[in-house]
Amino acid sequence: MENKFSSPYFFHIFTYFLGLFLLIPSYANSSDDSIKVMVMSQTPYGFITKDGQKTGVLYDILNQIIKTSRIGKSISIVPTKRLVAIMKETQKVCTIFANSPDVSEFDYIEAIGFELTAGILPAKGIKLDNYSSLKNKVIAVPLGIIFDKKFHTDDTLIKVRPPHYINAIKMLKKGRVDAVAGALLTLRYIAKKEGMSPMFFDKPLLFGQANVYLVCTTNLNSSTREKLKKAVITLKSNGTIQRILTQYFGMNTQ
């Protein structure tokens, strides 16, 4: 008599249920694993050190979000414009952005507890009392930096487009430009790394403040979104995010 446990019929039934068993956890995690985590390639947000290590203030915060939420595997460092283009391709992507007109169509999951002031930082002796003071000044505007529609569409201003914040600061240091546009805290951080004291600069022209958020594309499922939101809230409440901000910018990060 044939052993029913060795029959072809039993083998097919067994492999069918085994396939279902293996498929269920794989399916449950697939949406989380397919999310790409990226950070803009700008010092000090995300950059690669001389010895090839990925780091940066936003990179480090995203790394903690990954560990806490268990969503995403690694962080890619890409140029800002390329990052925005990828997100607009409807791929599942998460990053950290300041609230700006260029990324208004994405899902602002949760503020990370950090606010950036945008403006124009001039060299000593360059007085920027108001917007009209920008006329005939050479202003370095790093690629991908957008914080004021009027400023960025104003063709009457003299603007040059270095690829990164650090290139803009070096141009200012060498006297090739009169001022640099962008996040003031970031500009001062890079200037300090370049050996430039606060005395090198004059009073900045302020354009406004923007909260910094964990931002994702709008195609995440509600469960994944909630995990990410809870992770950011946890990292804010336990002081992890503030410790990373202080490590890079000092105590004055609010």
pLDDT tens profile 73-109: 899 999 888 998 999 987 899 999 988 766 678 999 9
What is the pLDDT confidence band of residue 19, given thresholds at 50, 70 and 90? very low
Weakest-pLDDT range from 5-9, 89-93, 187-191: 5-9
101: number of Cβ within 10 Å: 11
- What pLDDT does 145 receive? 76
Placement of tokens 């694993």 in the chain: 33
Q: What mean pLDDT comes out for the span 23-36?
A: 52
Query: 39 with 45: CB under 8 angstroms?
Result: yes
- pLDDT of residue 30 exceeding 90: no
Q: Which residue has the higher pLDDT, 121 or 143?
A: 121
Residues in the chain: 254
CA distances from 195 to 183, 189, 199 (A): 19, 10, 11
Structure tokens at 228: 């990410």
What is the pLDDT at residue 101? Answer: 65
- Per the prediction, the chain carries an average pLDDT of 85
The mean pLDDT value for 219-232 works out to 96
Q: Could you tell me the domains of the chain?
A: 29-112+214-249 (3.40.190.10), 117-209 (3.40.190.10)
What would the two tokens of residue 61 be? 């915060």
